[in-house]
Amino acid sequence: AVFWYQNSDNQTAENGKDKETAETAKDFNQPSVEVNSKLESIKMPVADASATVIKKNFYDKNADKAEQEAALVYYNNRYEPNKGIDVAARDNKAFDVVASISGEVTKVEDDSLNGNLVEVEHEDGVVTRYQSIQDIEVKVGDKVKQGEKLAVSGQSLINEDAGVHVHFEIRKDGVAVNPIEFMDKQLTSIPSDTKAQSN
């Protein structure tokens, strides 16, 4: 009787284990899907945002006249609307420029006028641009994670007033949008029809 009881108890345990395994493993044949980038929120392109200041804001056509004037870049006797934000350290020293959100590097350029450039492509037609940088550590085709170092802040001829800084842009389908509006929001928060928001 004891042998029969132990045997039936083992079978019950095994049957329960088989049932549990079958329930938890039933979707193992499905392909895995990367979900991290969908859950990320856009961050400032610096490791410590509290140690930085915005030297020049995005030119918003709906802002008041004073804000618009402050968002113009003057170079070579011309005024141009700023298509991003210019971020500098409070102590005016160089700092690490990091990926605002995960993506793939699609462009790396040397440019003394605008400052060297790294462009990172993301989902939903969104691209982030990092300009006025030096000591670039990535190349085209690299997959970068949010917060990963891309370069070091630098300078540009077109915006010398900003000193050592990074010029940061977010573009949706080629149209620049105000990065400040989308900080701590997901890529999907950037509307498809960005024409109305751009300059």
Pairing of strands 166-172, 126-134: antiparallel
What is the pLDDT at residue 32? 43
Condensed to tens digits (0 to 9), the pLDDT of residues 63-72 reads: 999 999 999 9
pLDDT in tens, 19-45: 444 444 444 454 444 444 568 999 999
Predicted pLDDT at 193: 62
CA–CA distance, 112 with 181 (Å, rounded to integer): 29
Chain Cα centroid distance, residue 65: 30
Query: What is residue 98's predicted lDDT score, i.e. its pLDDT?
Result: 98
Report percent pLDDT > 70 for the chain: 77
Residue 130 has pLDDT above 80, yes or no: yes
At residue 114, the pLDDT reads: 81
pLDDT of residue 192: 77
Nearest Cα to 189, choosing from 61, 87, 38? Answer: 38
Question: How far is it, in rounded angstroms, from Cα 165 to Cα 131?
Answer: 9
Q: What is the pLDDT of residues 141-151, one digit of tens each?
A: 999 999 999 99
Q: What is the pLDDT of residue 22?
A: 45
Which residue, among 147, 149, 150, 73, has the nearest Cα to 107 in the 3D structure? 150
Task: Tell me the pLDDT tens digit for each residue of 49-92.
Answer: 999 999 999 999 999 999 999 999 988 888 999 999 999 999 99
The pLDDT score that the predictor gives to residue 166 is 97
